Amino acid sequence: MARQPLIAKRAEELLGSSVVATAPVAGGDIATATRLRLSSGQTALMKTLPHAPEGFFESEAAGLAWLSEVDGGLPLPEVLAAASDCLILAWIEPSSKTPVEAAVAFGQQLATTHAAGADGWGLDHDGYIGRLPLPNKTAGSWAEFYAVRRVLPYLKLARDRAAITDGDAAAVEAVVGRFTELIPDEAPARLHGDLWNGNCVWGHDLALHVIDPAAYGGHREVDLAMLHLFGLTHLPRVMAAYDEAYPLADGWEDRLGLHQLFPLLVHACMFGGSYGARAGTIAARYL
C-alpha cells in the first residue's frame, strides 16, 4: 500500500490517528473508496465524493447507527467518522467463501433487525438511495407511504428522463391505486432499505455483513423483495431461517413484485436500460 497524501491527511484530521498507507478499492459506483491502514494497526474504509449532496454521508452514518442499535441484528461496519465530504468505516475483510451457516445466521439477523421496528413509516430525516434523494416524511399507512414517498416520485423522474414508456408508466400508476387492498397491514419494520447482493459482503470472519443502507421504517417485504430481485447466494436458506424466526404473512412470495417496483424505478432513473419496462411488466401482473 502506498500513501495518498490528501486522503491520508483528511482521514487523520477526522480520526486523530496517523494513516500509514492507503490503497484504492474497486467496486463503488458512486463514491471513491480507499482502504486505510492506521498506525494503531486498524484497517478502515474511507468513502469520498467531491461536491457530495447535502447530508449525503451523514445520512448513511445515521442509518448505520440506527440499524446497529439492534442486539443480534444485521452485522454492520462500525462508523469511525462522518463528515460532509467523506465517511470512514471499520474495514470488513471480504472472503470468497459463502458458507450456508452464514446465510442461515443472516436470515435470523435480518429477522431480528426487522422485528426491532420503527417509530413510524419513514424516518426523522430524508436520505439517499444511490445518488437520488430519498424522502422519508411519514404517512398514515404503508400503502400511502409506499405510493407517495417511494413509487410515484421515481416514476415521475423516470418519465422525465425518458426511462419508462407511457404504457409501462400507466401500469405502475394503476397498481399504485391497489396497494391498500394488495399489501397487508403490518407494524413498521427497521429496514436496511437498499438490500441487494452488492451491499452484502461475505466476510473473512464467515459472517454475512451489510453495507450502504438507505434505512427507514417500512414494510419488511421491501428488503426481502430487493434480495429476490437481484439474487443472493443461499437465498432459500436465508428465507427459511428468516421465516422461522419472524414468520411472514401468507402470500408474501406473490407480493414480491409489488415491492420490487421501487428499486426497479430507482434503477431506471439511474441507469435507464430495461428497468422501466420490467417495472411495467411486473405492475401489469397485479391488474
List the catalytic residues.
194
- For residue 267, give the nearest of 235, 223, 229 by alpha carbon: 229
The 10 Å Cβ neighbour count of residue 103 is 22
DSSP codes of every residue in 100-150: HHHHHHHHHHHHHHHHH--SSSB-SS-EEETTEEE-----SSHHHHIIIII
Q: Tell me the CA distances in angstroms from 5 to 8, 18, 41, 214, 275, one per residue in order.
A: 5, 11, 19, 31, 41
DSSP code string of 26-44: TT-SSSEEEEEEETTS-EE
